Structure 1
Amino acid sequence: MGFGRGLFRRRESASRDEIFGKWAVDILRAFPEVVSAEFDAAEFHVDVVYADGTPQQCGLRTPFRLAEGLDGEEAVQLLAEYLRGALAASTAMAEPVADWATMAPTLRPVLRPAGDLTLEVQGQRIGENIVWRPLLPCLTERVVIDLPTSMRTVSPEDLVEWGVDAHTVFATARTNMTDFAVETVSGFDPDEGVHFLSDDDGDLYAGSLPLVEGWLAGLGNKAGAQPLCFVPGSFGVLAGVASSPERVCELVAVAREMFDNAVRPVSPVPYTVDGQGRLVPFTVPLGHPAWAAIRSAEAALAAPVYAAQYPSLQADVDSGRRTEYVAELLHVRAPNGIEDTVAAWTDTVPTLLPRAHVVSMVDLATASLFPVPWEVLDREVGLRSVPGLFPPRFLVEHHPDQATLARLRAAGRWGTG
């Protein structure tokens, strides 16, 4: 029986979201530290106020997804446990932060999609209230405090309290993973082909292993081949080696399925290390059997991240804080089956352009559209990113001269960017 199915039959006028929201309100109001709880159906969260006057928003999308397939009683129990953990985490965040010597061993690095950086919670953007840095396209590295019953992201205020800089915090968090990284390299069997290190409860921070210097390179050295890793969800890490095109295809397919089914998806894109041991996206040339699947993975990561960034930028435009047009990033499938991300640049319109596989340009003289691969456009016009935005956007306005446009038209071809 699907979760709450009997309850849905009795209240056909109420949607599943509304029923789930009512459950959440009833559960939260039962906690003694909560003085009020109101369901916001549009945003699908509950606005909570604690006895000391502190407000909080409890999102319901994650527990709603987790409850799929459960009956009503099981779903309510899962929701109660989830909300109990959310309240415990909020309480932990409100507690005074201990000194640096005490807190340093509790730090762990995490990879997270960048789409939430511009989201506002109680009037403040998340990116301004956590310690983070760009890591890979559409991904950030953050640091969390691993508490006994919860975790919370390190904030700029924590750095002031501890008297350390962000570089020290990131380095310490990575160093705290070293013993676990060495252990996993020792246990890695390259003959298995596809190796998934599960971490169902998140206590191991296995998805953070690619951040540890030498971990991925160590897997490659042990296998004698180029290493690959994936972090499809917030729990666990998938690893293997590019021993053959067929093995690469297998790894990419497994990672994509895990990403599509993850409760908290991170990235379906394959990563490897460069000559300096740095974590970088794994790429293959056009014609490789995995090329289309990797391009699809890139689109599946980028599109929702830019989509999450878009509303706050558009709100800036609506309020007059920005004057540029905010271009959307579209995830499209061409007639030949190749997937792309596409953004539009209209001549003479100041535009915040997201990084896309393909940029659609408009020839005002003929009113025709033509696509240009990003790399070609960047080479011809020298795109410059706007400071302070991640994932990056690039300010464009006037199309280049006719000679350059002719070269761009000649180079433009779907699916080859």
Structure 2
Amino acid sequence: MGFGRGLFRRRESASRDAIFGKWAVDILRAFPEVVSAEFDASEFHVDVVYADGAIQQYGLQTPYRLAEGLDGEEAVQLLVEYLRRAVTSRTVMTEPVAGWLSAAPTLRSVLRPAGDLTLEFQGKRIGDHMLWRPLLPCLTERVVIDLPTSMRTVSPDDLVEWGVDADTVFATARANMIDFAVETVSLFDTEDGVLFLPDDDGDLYAGSLPLVDGWLAGLGNKAGAQPLFFVPGSYGVLAGVASSPERVCELVAAAREMFDNAVRPVSPAPYTVDERGRLVPFTVPIDHPAWAAIRSAEAALSAPVHAAQHRSLRAEAEAGRLDEHAAELLHVQAADGIEETVAAWTDTVPTLLPRAHVVSMVDPTTASLFQVPWEVLDREVGLRAVPGLFPPRFLVEHHPDQAALARLRAAGRWGTG
């Protein structure tokens, strides 16, 4: 029975690619180091989460093409061998690197979305299995060991093995990028005002450059304008200066296109450095021509990260380990065409509320919905993050008193009840 014939002739039951994707998922889930595997039919790849927190995508076009003409059992065996090689090559180094002196030069910092932190493996969240710290909204800084053919995320066990603390590991990983950072600043063309390092194979760790102290400020000082950077995908970096509103628009648009086309997207949002040298989101006033695009970029980053977190929290609630309701964060388009995020606060329901552009509430006098900008709500009620979650969530329950609610209604946007 040939692959593509026989078993796959009856497309009314399932398509060939769907069957192949299910095979791939079943095979990958059998590996002990794989926490989860999900088939993306539209992109024809499998998204895999490993026990050390790493996320990998395995395209299926190549093994699918190789399996043409094979019968079902032969096709499955080919896929097993193909995926075994992929997993093995990625996990060549699974044990701690012996000795701090040997490990230190191999360390690199990387920026990664935070959506996988609450996934569970062996009864613990993925975030407990690796070294990480919050960096920017929905983004974490992690440290990896740079190996000749792969990378591995540093774990708490590595710190015990090496006898060093987390601050030392983070500082060492950043320091290992200093020479490259100095070189890129010296090569920065202030006439063009844009620096793009695609770093397709990841060998340069160009996406880590913003983490090097002074790198971004150095670009800005050289150009005499506020610097900004983007990390659309796992490896490369796009940087420039806000020399004009038009240039900001160009950079934001370019980063969004890169993010939308990235194999492993990170963030389309712009970032800059404050007066203390800290990385912070790059913001513009509402009348700036890039405001709507930046708001859309923030939503494109935040929504999938919070969606992954929401699935994990919902599973904890269903298992009886979480009492509060975890609100969803939705990426929506408002009536005026502006894209934003929204979350709902239902009165009297203990809720873990994610930070959103606007929060939806209900007017008890009319049962009509209205939406309040996050900053206005926070100023009125003093939202406080619960410990242990990133991105943070804020515990709310009862709506504020009538006087405060009236002020929120006055500052909000009305919907339909």
CA RMSD of aligned residues (A): 2.6
Residue 74 (structure 2) pairs with residue 73 (structure 1): no
Deviation at 1:190, TM superposition (A): 2.4
Q: CA–CA distance in 2 between the matches of 1:182 and 1:74?
A: 46
Residue 182 (structure 2) pairs with residue 182 (structure 1): yes
Q: CA–CA distance in 1 between the matches of 2:30 and 2:140?
A: 29
Superposition map of 1:254-265 within 5 A: 254-265=254-265
Alignment partner, residue 55 of structure 2: none
Alignment partner, residue 392 of structure 2: 392
CA change 1:11–1:251 in 2 (3 A) is farther
Unaligned runs of 5+ in 2: 46-57, 69-77
Deviation at 1:238, TM superposition (A): 0.5
TM-score, structure 2 length as denominator? 0.86
Alignment partner, residue 372 of structure 1: 372
Q: 1:190–1:240: 8 Å Cα contact kept in structure 2?
A: no
Could you list the per-position Cα deviations for residues 53-109 of structure 1 after superposition, in whole angstroms to 9, with x for gaps in the alignment?
A: x5545746589447487794379999977752421332411x353110110000000
Deviation at 1:341, TM superposition (A): 0.4
Deviation at 1:242, TM superposition (A): 0.5
TM-score, structure 1 length as denominator? 0.86
Q: Which runs of 4+ in 1 moved over 6 A?
A: 4-9, 68-71, 74-82
Where 2:394 maps in the other structure, the secondary structure is: strand
Alignment partner, residue 288 of structure 2: 288
Alignment partner, residue 138 of structure 1: 138
Where 1:192 maps in the other structure, the secondary structure is: coil
CA change 1:193–1:397 in 2 (3 A) is same
Q: 1:330–1:341: 8 Å Cα contact kept in structure 2?
A: yes
Q: CA–CA distance in 2 between the matches of 1:289 and 1:196?
A: 23
Q: 2:63–2:82: 8 Å Cα contact kept in structure 1?
A: no
Could you list the per-position Cα deviations for residues 25-77 of structure 1 after superposition, in whole angstroms to 9, with x for gaps in the alignment?
A: xxxxxxxxxxxxxx43xxxx62235xxxx554574658944748779437999
Q: CA–CA distance in 2 between the matches of 1:78 and 1:292?
A: 45
Q: CA–CA distance in 2 between the matches of 1:268 and 1:286?
A: 19
Residue 20 (structure 2) pairs with residue 19 (structure 1): yes
Task: State percent identity of aligned pairs.
Answer: 72
Where 1:369 maps in the other structure, the secondary structure is: strand
Q: 1:118–1:309: 8 Å Cα contact kept in structure 2?
A: yes
Deviation at 1:5, TM superposition (A): 8.5
Q: CA–CA distance in 1 between the matches of 2:67 and 2:357?
A: 41
Of 18, 29, 47, which residue of structure 1 is paired with 2:29?
Answer: 47
Q: 1:67–1:75: 8 Å Cα contact kept in structure 2?
A: no
Could you list the per-position Cα deviations for residues 279-311 of structure 1 after superposition, in whole angstroms to 9, with x for gaps in the alignment?
A: 110000011000000000000000000000011
Q: CA–CA distance in 2 between the matches of 1:308 and 1:337?
A: 26
Q: CA–CA distance in 1 between the matches of 2:341 and 2:4?
A: 38
Q: 2:193–2:223: 8 Å Cα contact kept in structure 1?
A: no
Alignment partner, residue 406 of structure 1: 406
Q: 1:48–1:58: 8 Å Cα contact kept in structure 2?
A: no
Q: CA–CA distance in 2 between the matches of 1:114 and 1:147?
A: 24
Moved more, 62-71 or 304-313: 62-71
Q: CA–CA distance in 2 between the matches of 1:14 and 1:287?
A: 51
CA change 1:290–1:155 in 2 (3 A) is same
Could you list the per-position Cα deviations for residues 249-306 of structure 1 after superposition, in whole angstroms to 9, with x for gaps in the alignment?
A: 0000000011011111000000011011111100000110000000000000000000
Q: CA–CA distance in 2 between the matches of 1:269 and 1:219?
A: 19
Moved more, 274-283 or 12-21: 12-21
Q: CA–CA distance in 2 between the matches of 1:88 and 1:124?
A: 25
Could you list the per-position Cα deviations for residues 330-382 of structure 1 after superposition, in whole angstroms to 9, with x for gaps in the alignment?
A: 11101110111000111111110000000011122321111100000000110
Q: CA–CA distance in 1 between the matches of 2:256 and 2:226?
A: 20
